Amino acid sequence: MEWIEKLDGNVIVSDAHGKIIYMNEKAIAHYEKDGGINLIGRDLLECHSEDSRKKILEIMRTGNKNIYTIEKMGKKKIVYQSPWFRDGEFRGIIEFSLGIPAEMPHFIRG
């Protein structure tokens, strides 16, 4: 899955208990000051604020997605957190964090 390693955005995957099991190259580099590759094996809940922990637990409990945009140091991102499943069973959370332009077109299609 080289494409996900080279994706221009952060990809982080946890297991059903919230343990980080995968980070792509961009995520490892982005979180280098927090431990980078050593975050693999750590609990997501330990790495987030109280508000974020509540959202993570809600995703785990309900299977609902959490999607939002942020702006940090003048750069906008969309964060897409979603449960992932195997054979219909909740297996964890995947998070994509992708840079987006400050202004972007929006299309309504058929």
Which CATH number among 3.40.50.1220, 2.30.110.10, 3.30.450.20, 2.60.120.10 corresponds to the domain 2-100? Answer: 3.30.450.20
- Residue carrying structure tokens 């959202």: 55
pTM for the full predicted model = 0.91
Q: Quick: pLDDT tens for 10-20.
A: 999 999 999 99
Handedness of CA 4, 64, 102, 30 (dihedral sign): negative
Convert the pLDDT of each residue in 65-109 to its tens digit: 999 999 988 899 999 999 999 999 999 999 999 999 989 999 999
Beta strands at 89-100 and 75-86: parallel, antiparallel or unpaired: antiparallel
Given the structure tokens 């280098």, which residue do they identify?
32
Report the alpha-carbon distance of residue 88 to residue 7 in Å, rounded: 27
Contact predicate 93/83, CB 8 Å: yes
